[in-house]
Structure 1
Amino acid sequence: MKAFVFPGQGSQFVGMGKDLYESNETAKNLFEKANEILGFRITDIMFDGTDEQLKETKVTQPAVFLHSVISAICLGDEFKPAMVAGHSLGELSALVAAGAVSFEDGLKLVYARAMAMQKACEAAPGTMAAVIGLSDEVIEQTCAEVSTEGNVVVAANYNCPGQLVISGNMDAINAACEKLKAAGAKRALPLKVGGAFHSPLMQPAKEELEKAIQATTFSAPLCPVYQNVDGLPHTDPSEIKVNLIAQLTSSVRWTSSVQNMIKDGADDFTECGPGKALQGMIGRIDKTVAAHGIA
């Protein structure tokens, strides 16, 4: 069974989508429609901008979304998923590709999400750190030991066995990294990200995004969407909305999402969007399934 997966922030690169724009009329029209909706030419930054321009949150999130969704649309009849999932931001790409949200509404939600997260990052500065080579339980326990009121660190992204990303206040992240290295982590390094995503520090962004999600029409997707908050399949639009709202302050349960998709029959995963990060994670979760990009 075929599963399609959609990457999140961090997979972007200058030049992404340019080949689609130049070779496919449908893609070109959708990119131009996006420029109109956003009120600036995001395509100029995606195709020919600098890394710094592309790293701006208001650019990064819609850029990754656009590349992912337009790539899926351009597959035409080849896009026949039995199930879909997306990592963090990629969940919105998955929902649009699966027909639960329109292209226009999806892009507006992504932009609202990016701006709300940017605002939350400025109000409560934080960061994230990748931890390699320890069990989830040890990392969770360390986060609990380090966290205090007003200085929090939590497990944020369960990417694959032996790779977990933590998120929180700067001091708490630094303290947790030291303890995790002492506990035997191969690596515990802060990431170059704009804030503490998927942590309690995103509460103001969650409240802002909730209004935008509740005002948006969601339909039943053409196949189950395995959502980040619980790693389980969902088709009910009201459930999907609730989970999408919770996502900003909840952990991304990517490992269990992929494991559940495989349990439900997925044996061929196609990553739609920039980069190969999800293919690598899927390979580390289960080596028996195929994971590749768009051919």
Structure 2
Amino acid sequence: MQFVGMGQKLLDVPSVKELYNDASQILGYDLLELCLRGPKSTLDETVYCQPATVVSSLAAVELLYQQQETAVSNCMAVAGFSVGEITALIFTGAISFPEGINLVKIRAEAMQASSQLTRSGMMSVFIGADNKLPLGLQVAEEWCRREHNITNPVCRVANHLYTGAKVVAGNEEGLQFLEQNRDDFQIRKTKRLPVSGAFHTPLMQPAVEPFTEALKFTKISNPRFFTFIFFSYSCSWPCS
């Protein structure tokens, strides 16, 4: 999750500043300045928080490599969730750092644009074994149709955190309905996420085409571990 000051503790690690600088050249703005000083309202915007998350994650791996080289060099597999998938691809050398940042830029811009088409968002819901969350989601969508004339409303589970917690995403009206009527569906607590749209739902469909087009022009290599490759930003961990 993005926060003002992210990356601050990594700046003493060799190549981290260059990592941010090279990303900034591709993005067209000073990413490190935004990460360190915000403002938070800007950093929370999809178009900025996705690149900030990816680059700061790679910078954190630089720190890990400096502190415990074998933890990185002996890595057997990596995994990423959502935009973290691109982080994982860069780490393994499946895609280069410049191409990875370009993908993140296009992805973030497309998802930001999709978010602006419809009032939407995400929130964590905390539930017990007796929950009626599936019913709540159905009723919330019906509420959107009947009370707000939304033709194809979305209110659904976007992420499964653990047994007692899910992330629900969709139309703002549906999320508000769940918040206001949570006791009816045995929802113990809700907490809004600092994001600008309903990610991992059909409301992001407009972002699919531009990202798909960008992928067509991205060179993807076989991921390889234990071989050092030094990208333009002087990557010091075994990226491929």
Alignment TM-score > 0.5, same fold: yes
For residue 26 of structure 1, what is the amino acid of its counterpart? S
Q: Which residue of 2 aligns with 1:168?
A: 170
How many correspondences in the alignment? Answer: 212
Q: Which of 83, 93, 103 lines up with 2:97 in the alignment?
A: 103
Question: Displacement, 1:171?
Answer: 1.9
Q: Which residue of 1 aligns with 2:127?
A: 133
Distance in 2 (CA, whole Å) between partners of 1:106 and 1:183 is: 42
Instruction: List aligned pairs for 1:110-149, cutoff 5 A.
Output: 110-134=104-128, 138-147=132-141, 149=151
Q: Which residue of 1 aligns with 2:196?
A: 194
The two structures have a TM-score, normalised by structure 2, of: 0.79
What is the root-mean-square deviation in Å for CA atoms of aligned residues? 2.3
SS in 2 for 1:157: strand
Q: Does 1:92 align with 2:116?
A: no
Distance in 2 (CA, whole Å) between partners of 1:192 and 1:49 is: 14
Q: Which residue of 2 aligns with 1:219?
A: 221
Instruction: List aligned pairs for 1:243-258, cutoff 5 A.
Output: none
Q: Alpha carbons of 1:178 and 1:14: their partners in 2 closer, same or farther (altered >3 Å)?
A: closer
Q: Which residue of 1 aligns with 2:5?
A: 15
Distance in 1 (CA, whole Å) between partners of 2:179 and 2:24 is: 41
Of all paired residues, the percent bearing the same amino acid is: 33
Instruction: Could you tell me which runs of 5 or more consecutive residues in structure 2 were left unpaired when the two chains were aligned.
Output: 143-150, 226-240
SS in 2 for 1:24: coil
Q: Which of 53, 63, 66 lines up with 2:55 in the alignment?
A: 66
Contact 1:181 1:187 in 2 (8 A): no
Q: Deviations over 1:77-108 (max 9, x none)?
A: 33132222223222221221122221111111
For residue 116 of structure 2, what is the amino acid of its counterpart? E
Q: Does 1:56 align with 2:38?
A: no
Dislocated runs of 4+, deviation >6 Å: none
Contact 1:132 1:187 in 2 (8 A): yes
Q: Deviations over 1:236-267 (max 9, x none)?
A: xxxxxxxxxxxxxxxxxxxxxxxxxxxxxxxx
Q: Alpha carbons of 1:75 and 1:141: their partners in 2 closer, same or farther (altered >3 Å)?
A: same
Contact 2:155 2:169 in 1 (8 A): yes
Distance in 1 (CA, whole Å) between partners of 2:91 and 2:3 is: 21
Contact 1:136 1:162 in 2 (8 A): no
Q: Deviations over 1:153-173 (max 9, x none)?
A: 111011111110111112222
Q: Alpha carbons of 1:123 and 1:37: their partners in 2 closer, same or farther (altered >3 Å)?
A: same
Q: Alpha carbons of 1:83 and 1:129: their partners in 2 closer, same or farther (altered >3 Å)?
A: same
Q: Which residue of 2 aligns with 1:255?
A: none
For residue 126 of structure 1, what is the amino acid of its counterpart? S
Q: Deviations over 1:198-249 (max 9, x none)?
A: 11110001222111122212223347xxxxxxxxxxxxxxxxxxxxxxxxxx
Distance in 1 (CA, whole Å) between partners of 2:209 and 2:166 is: 26
Contact 1:139 1:155 in 2 (8 A): no
SS in 2 for 1:154: strand
The two structures have a TM-score, normalised by structure 1, of: 0.65
Distance in 2 (CA, whole Å) between partners of 1:192 and 1:43 is: 20
For residue 215 of structure 1, what is the amino acid of its counterpart? F
Distance in 1 (CA, whole Å) between partners of 2:62 and 2:216 is: 25
Question: Displacement, 1:177?
Answer: 4.0
Question: Displacement, 1:180?
Answer: 4.3
Q: Which residue of 2 aligns with 1:155?
A: 157
For residue 108 of structure 2, what is the amino acid of its counterpart? A
Contact 2:126 2:166 in 1 (8 A): yes
Larger radius of gyration: 2
Question: Displacement, 1:122?
Answer: 0.8
Question: Displacement, 1:51?
Answer: 1.7
Relative to structure 2, which stretch is displaced further, 182-191 or 93-102? Answer: 182-191
Instruction: Could you tell me which runs of 5 or more consecutive residues in structure 1 were left unpaired when the two chains were aligned.
Output: 1-10, 224-295
SS in 2 for 1:159: strand
